[in-house]
Structure 1
């Protein structure tokens, strides 16, 4: 047999239905585990922890979105806060995302419309990476989940479901009628020659590694620079703004822009000073006294600043307006700026200047 005939014979074997059935079986573990991951995310909200879909609950998924908003990739935090401020649209989006996860999870597990489920899985992985990829206090768990989700979806997109998939029930009819678009959505042979399959597989591999390494470098550095996180997820930062004094009332807006989502920024003391002299001090005992200090939380009850025994606990991403009752008879120089300072339990101070 000539070399060209041998090559044609090899190409024909590689593209046979049997090859694609075997390829799908080889990727069976990836398909099942990937499907279970998406099924697990949806089933927790729909079956086991329904409070995650209850807008009146502290466990509502919006709480996680508030935590993630400050560090969202591609500067999309503005869109996320817009969505958080439109509760009906937010609830629809959360329900939709949950149902998509459910469909993709079940579809991959049973091997129904495997390639279509894989394409949607790529979109879910991108969404998770953009929103949550920067987070993770002890390890890069969110980034890892999104990166692996993208890679596993790329693999099942290439291989299809194989012999142990519901798609096999329709594969014979699809092949007899040569419905090309259906092959891109289900399983079995792709309508590509062997060189095209190799090229497509190579492209998906390159895209997957660029997705993974690109977002790693974007969020954490350590590619051509030393390790340096784009958003500090180990230490809280309290950003103060919109401070005003009206009569005997001081108002200020707080926003927790960095830090771990697993614990809050504990504000133990607030003070107002001018020219180095303290005019008013609010210790923990005053911060929890609603006749002296009131706190209006923008995203209550999902993510809040809440008065506790020894401090006010502010969660990551929370936005709140604080109102302080100034002491009776307080006098200050109307020509000099004042300084408002919030101090956490570790003694770290967060300041802003108030023009009288």
Structure 2
């Protein structure tokens, strides 16, 4: 300011230049520039998942490899929600459907992740990433050895996908190039909903609110289900992601004294197998009638361990039986000649962590 209170001539010019520079970018371009980092990260996460299987680690798509994706899907089955566990169970029993599903899922990750990186069909690609995040939450949201790692990944990707759907990518993107070079195409009513064009304010405001409400509901409800701390007190989750748990059922004793039962590894970390080191048959009065120790379990023939699935399995190991997450099998423990199992007996399995899992034994005639 001068002594007379007037502004020097240079200051109005500078102020006008700033205002002009600000007005030269539309609101959609400003949002697009701000979302560039989010667009790249969201796209790279999914492109990375697909490219690992198709390019850098093709053994993940090899049904004969230990890193075959079916093992990962099976490991998710114990804690999967909204009937997705039944879908996985059905696919694991039908190889061609399973293989096609893994290929299609991986291809969707690969292509739509790349589309997000390039800013091509951004809104459609963002919606696809939201769908992928939703499926991954239902399948893997319960897992995480130290915290709910998979929930965090799915929740963040869901929120980023919703934000990209609302914002589009009107700058530094293939969408912007197409809109500039094909104005007639960009004028089509559907074009901005598939790509990145500006939306009318009367549409964008309620859309932003809807996107936010859906994201909040998805994040809060799944977090409350897996850990509480929103509508209920904190809890460790319906399915433990850290401590192995065995469900023992359908235990039947035959006339020769052998016992057949179904065992399902339905809790714990998929990063390490569970180990069953001892089985005991306990009589109705609490007396131990038979014991199968580590050596006996390790020596079980293949015919005595019938797995439901061809991937993660129960199998004889160095000390007892080992099982990968989601494994389920019918196991037959041999009896002694002339022995019978008394009514009211219980089969008990002991893990290497000294945890016990039991089921009542019925006679074959009783079934």
Q: 1:235 aligns with which of 243, 254, 260?
A: 243
Q: d(CA) in 2 for partners of 1:319 and 1:292?
A: 15
Distance 1:17 1:201, change over 3 A: farther
Q: Deviations over 1:132-176 (max 9, x none)?
A: 111111122111111111111111112212221111221035544
Q: Deviations over 1:166-197 (max 9, x none)?
A: 1122103554452010111011212x2x2432
After TM superposition, give the deviation of residue 63 of structure 1 in Å.
0.9
After TM superposition, give the deviation of residue 17 of structure 1 in Å.
7.7
Q: 2:359 aligns with which of 348, 352, 356?
A: 352
Q: Provide the TM-score with structure 1 as the length reference.
A: 0.89
Q: 2:270 aligns with which of 234, 256, 261?
A: 261
Contact 1:288 1:307 in 2 (8 A): yes
After TM superposition, give the deviation of residue 332 of structure 1 in Å.
4.2
**1:9 matched residue in structure 2:** none
- Does residue 306 of structure 2 align to residue 299 of structure 1? no
Q: Which moved more, 1:81-90 or 1:286-295?
A: 286-295
Q: 2:52 aligns with which of 3, 21, 44?
A: 44
Q: d(CA) in 2 for partners of 1:185 and 1:87?
A: 35
Stretches of 4+ aligned residues off by more than 6 angstroms: 14-17
Contact 2:133 2:158 in 1 (8 A): yes
Q: d(CA) in 1 for partners of 2:149 and 2:341?
A: 51
Q: Provide the TM-score with structure 2 as the length reference.
A: 0.87
Q: d(CA) in 2 for partners of 1:311 and 1:291?
A: 12
Unaligned runs of 5+ in 1: 1-13
**2:321 matched residue in structure 1:** 312
**1:8 matched residue in structure 2:** none
Counterparts in 2 of 1:1-356, with a 5 A limit?
Answer: 18-172=26-180, 175-176=183-184, 178-190=187-199, 192=200, 194-228=201-235, 229-248=237-256, 249-275=258-284, 276-291=286-301, 294-300=304-310, 302-333=311-342, 336-356=343-363
Contact 2:144 2:242 in 1 (8 A): no
Q: d(CA) in 1 for partners of 2:334 and 2:292?
A: 10
After TM superposition, give the deviation of residue 65 of structure 1 in Å.
1.1
Contact 1:119 1:157 in 2 (8 A): yes
After TM superposition, give the deviation of residue 113 of structure 1 in Å.
0.8
CA RMSD after TM alignment: 2.2
Q: d(CA) in 2 for partners of 1:129 and 1:325?
A: 42
Give secondary structure in 1 for the equivalent of 2:50. helix
Q: Which moved more, 1:40-49 or 1:245-254?
A: 245-254
Contact 2:300 2:316 in 1 (8 A): no
Give secondary structure in 2 for the equivalent of 1:74. coil
**1:3 matched residue in structure 2:** none
Contact 2:253 2:362 in 1 (8 A): no
Give secondary structure in 2 for the equivalent of 1:57. coil
Contact 1:267 1:312 in 2 (8 A): yes
Give secondary structure in 2 for the equivalent of 1:172. helix
Q: d(CA) in 2 for partners of 1:18 and 1:199?
A: 20
Q: d(CA) in 1 for partners of 2:82 and 2:171?
A: 41
Contact 1:293 1:325 in 2 (8 A): no
Q: d(CA) in 2 for partners of 1:176 and 1:75?
A: 45
Aligned length, in residue pairs: 339
Q: Deviations over 1:216-256 (max 9, x none)?
A: 01221111322111222222221112222334332111111
Give secondary structure in 1 for the equivalent of 2:248. strand
Give secondary structure in 2 for the equivalent of 1:321. strand
